[in-house]
Structure 1
Amino acid sequence: MKSLFKVTLLATTMALALGATQAMAEDTAKATTDTTATAPAAPAATAPAAAEPAKFKSDDEQAAYALGASLGRYMDNSLKEQEKLGIKLDKDQLIAGVQDAFASKSKLSDADIEKTLQTFEARVKASAQQKMEADAKANEDKGDKFRADFAKEKGVKKTESGLLYQVDKPGTGNAPKDSDTVVVNYKGTLTDGTEFDNSYTRGEPLSFRLDGVIPGWTEGLKHVKKGGKIKLVIPPALAYGKTGVPGIPANSTLVFEVELLDIKPAPKADAKDATKPADAADATKAE
């Protein structure tokens, strides 16, 4: 769906047309498959021979077919995404438009086509916006309920910012500071259990400066020490907020299980720089 809104009007027109042709072919194939599925199995001796590989008269002919098939698959996926927005295009009319265009007898003028597609594009964008807002509200509601339920579990604590955490193993030594580099293993999921990141499966811990990640991590990891394990339930405001990122929808509450493997203090000069205000000389230069 995201890629659909980035294509130009001309590209949208081409993709829609080619997608319709592919959809017609798929419908025909599906009908054939359904009919075959209900027929009694033929004896082995009379089983039909395997279909021969497609043959083309030239490389150009095969390339043209491959291009059409590739664009058709892309547009078929786009049409399915549009149906999720409540927009269902009439495949018969799509096919008729393709055939009429190739026969140079389109029922619409170029101006009519452009105006219609502009209106259609606006509908798609409006529907997508409505769906995103509805999904964001649903995510917010689910997150609120999840956090309320989690807060009742044994050992769960809530900070002033709204962060919830549950220490499984406290660890030893000192808690990390903003300027420290920490090394962690972790698993991240949405409230429904959908996993979006996992350093364990990658087989490689993550190393980062504590003040260089989302606020929920910066605050949460200060409640555990080296060797410790903690569960963080992070509200959207301390994660990716109302925008989200790929794999994490807008207004998502995030659940992390984190193991703090190591803490590497920043060099003294870096730690000092991290705590002082902007350099006065730089500020003077800016003026």
Structure 2
Amino acid sequence: MKYLLTIGLLATGSLSLLAQSKAKPKPKPATAKKTVVTAAPAGAPALKTLADSASYAIGVNIAQSMKKDLGDINTNIMMGAMKATFEGKKPVLDDDVLMNVIMTYSEKAKEAQAQTTVDAGRAFLTKNKTQQGVTTTASGLQYIVLKEGTGEKPGANDTAICHYRGSLLDSTEFDNSYDRGEPLTIPVSGVIKGWTEGLQLMSKGSKYKFFIPYELGYGLRGAPPTIPGGSVLVFEVELMDVKKGN
């Protein structure tokens, strides 16, 4: 399963980095010092071999990651499932159901983490759609026509050449083609859903302002570190040219 495999790889990587960061310099000849041995906490496992210590360290690493990211996981059930799997017992859920459950739970966990941003975005869009000049499509995309062009409109199979600037609701700018001095050339169907829909509303020479709900943007995952999960995206897009596809 990819999810657990990823955690395992991360755990291994973290242990490697930890080992490197904790590497001690070669001791200089000096008067011998007494070694202080710290007693293990009551009930702690006996770590007699390197494999024992690695097993313990990996367990701590995985638990810390899951405690941080997975919220209200039932640790008793999780540990029971891990033990049964290590013992070769057949899972209660088949592979397809397992993956579906993990994906569904993961999405809900992301939504919970992004809830403040999601709520702020929904409140903004609800108010914004009542503003003069704002049009809302069936998908929830909102836009304002800043300048209407007279050229052809791109289709889903075409390529758009456009200048744009993108920002969050707090006006934090995360991208700007004008600053780069070069317009973006992109397949109309090769961008986020809000852009794919929005570009096909524009005629060549137009300039629109789009307000893109997170569902039509980068979703609950966002685009770290610049775009938090659940963010409404604000784009000013100027359609410079259209290259027809097949």
Q: 1:242 aligns with which of 207, 213, 220?
A: 220
**1:134 shift after superposition:** 3.6
Query: Does the alignment pair 1:135 with 2:113?
Result: yes
Map 1:20-59 to 2 at 5 A: none
Number of the residue aligned with 1:211: 189
Between 1 and 2, higher relative CO (CA 8 Å, sep ≥ 6) is seen in 2
CA distance in 1, matches of 2:168, 2:70: 22
Number of the residue aligned with 1:262: 241
Query: Does the alignment pair 1:118 with 2:122?
Result: no
**1:250 shift after superposition:** 2.1
Structure 1 stretch 229-238 or stretch 124-133: which is displaced more?
A: 124-133
Task: Show structure 2 runs of 5+ residues with no match.
Answer: 1-8, 27-33, 41-45, 72-108
- Pick closer, same or farther for the CA change 1:105–1:213 going to 2, 3 Å: same
CA distance in 2, matches of 1:172, 1:119: 62
Q: Give TM-score, length-normalised by structure 2.
A: 0.64
Map 1:110-259 to 2 at 5 A: 110=47, 111=52, 114-115=55-56, 118-130=59-71, 132-246=110-224, 247-259=226-238
Structure 1 residue identity aligned to 2:60? T
The CA RMSD measured in Å over matched residues stands at: 3.2
For residues 205-247 of structure 1, what are the alpha-carbon distances to aligned partners after superposition, in whole Å with 9 as ceiling and x for unaligned? 1001212211111111222211111011111221222332333
CA distance in 1, matches of 2:117, 2:64: 24
What SS does structure 2 have at the residue aligned with 1:179?
coil
Q: Give TM-score, length-normalised by structure 1.
A: 0.56
Structure 2 residue identity aligned to 1:265? K
Number of the residue aligned with 1:10: 15
Larger radius of gyration: 1
**1:11 shift after superposition:** 2.5
CA distance in 1, matches of 2:114, 2:169: 14
CA distance in 1, matches of 2:111, 2:134: 31
Structure 1 residue identity aligned to 2:147? K
For residues 172-230 of structure 1, what are the alpha-carbon distances to aligned partners after superposition, in whole Å with 9 as ceiling and x for unaligned? 12222112211111111122222221111122110012122111111112222111110
- Pick closer, same or farther for the CA change 1:124–1:12 going to 2, 3 Å: farther
**1:265 shift after superposition:** 1.7
Question: Percent identity, aligned pairs only?
Answer: 39
Number of the residue aligned with 1:71: none
- Pick closer, same or farther for the CA change 1:257–1:103 going to 2, 3 Å: farther
**1:125 shift after superposition:** 2.5
Structure 1 stretch 189-198 or stretch 102-111: which is displaced more?
A: 102-111
CA distance in 1, matches of 2:228, 2:35: 45
Structure 2 residue identity aligned to 1:14? A
**1:124 shift after superposition:** 3.1
CA distance in 2, matches of 1:7, 1:117: 6
- Pick closer, same or farther for the CA change 1:170–1:192 going to 2, 3 Å: same
* Count of residue pairs brought into register by the alignment: 185
